[in-house]
Amino acid sequence: MAEVRVERTEDGFRAVNARGASVAIGDGDAEGVFSPVELLLAALGGCELVTVEPLTAKRGHRMARLAATVQADKIATSRLGTITIAYDVELPEGDEKAPDVLAAVAKRVHDSYCTVGNALKEPMKVDQIV
């Protein structure tokens, strides 16, 4: 089970996990914090990259740089349009197979193996207990 605790602090909000990691949360105008939408985008990009990295490295093609920019436009109040993930990769020097391996692994991860991406693609029940 995945679980985080989100609580109000003196200067905004903070999400904390059981392993002691935390992230500051605020609205889109607050400095030094992530908005909830930015966290959603980070979760998607992070999910893809932390899944792609070991799979390409395991095949002997560790990318020199592996990053992604994830963006979405707000198309209506409380609605996002299409989310775009643009990979920013530096291929390993002299590895002619790396581009094909990366493309194949990234496609499989995006289509099937990223839990966050799968959750965003399918309708999902979200319960609230107040």
pLDDT one-digit tens code per residue, 52-109: 999 999 999 999 999 999 999 999 999 999 999 999 999 999 999 999 999 999 999 9
Is residue 62 within 8 A of residue 36, CB to CB? The reply is no
Q: Which position has the token pair 């349009």?
A: 81
Q: Which residues touch 80 (CB under 8 Å, ≥6 apart)?
A: 37, 72, 73, 74
Would you say how long the chain is, in residues? 130
d(Cα 38, Cα 63) in Å, to the nearest integer? 25
pLDDT at 129: 93
Q: Give the phi and the psi of residue 54 in degrees, each rounded to 5.
A: -70, -30
pLDDT one-digit tens code per residue, 36-66: 999 999 999 999 999 999 999 999 999 999 9
Tokens standing for residue 32: 């030094």
